[in-house]
Amino acid sequence: MASDLKFIVDTQLPPVLASFLSRKGFDAIYTTSFFEGYLLGDEEISQLAVAQNRIIITKDSDFSEYYFLKGSPPKILHLSVGNIRNRDLVDWLDSVLPLIASFFEAGSDMIEINLKEMISY
């Protein structure tokens, strides 16, 4: 599934997500790809996302709250999945990735998703 979408995976999610997205043909990086990336705050991650035209993948509700207060950019994929094994997370994301990609490609700025529903803004 090649796409022009680019992602940055936030620190509290597993690095395997960036690897998975890369294997699927996306340009995906993990925050620790940057020097002292594990220390990057939300503002720095947002600045990187805007500068590199990346969608932030996060479990952090701060990014969603920022979106509702300030709008976009950056674009955000907010995963509300609780504690889940990495393999299960990747399998689940693989099953919904075509829909996620289609929403962003159609102009969505933020997607909130859990195991049962997806909301696009």
Q: What is the pLDDT of residues 16-36, one digit of tens each?
A: 999 999 999 999 999 977 666
Q: Is residue 66 part of a domain?
A: yes
Print the domain residue range for 84: 6-120
Predicted local distance difference test score (pLDDT) of residue 27: 97
Q: Is residue 1 part of a domain?
A: no
Whether residue 33 contacts residue 12, with contact meaning beta carbons closer than 8 Å, is answered with: no
pTM of the complete model: 0.90
Q: Is residue 24 part of a domain?
A: yes
Q: Is residue 85 part of a domain?
A: yes
> What is the spatial order of strands in the sheet that 27-30 belongs to?
27-30, 6-9, 55-58, 75-80, 110-114, 118-120
Domain count, the chain: 1
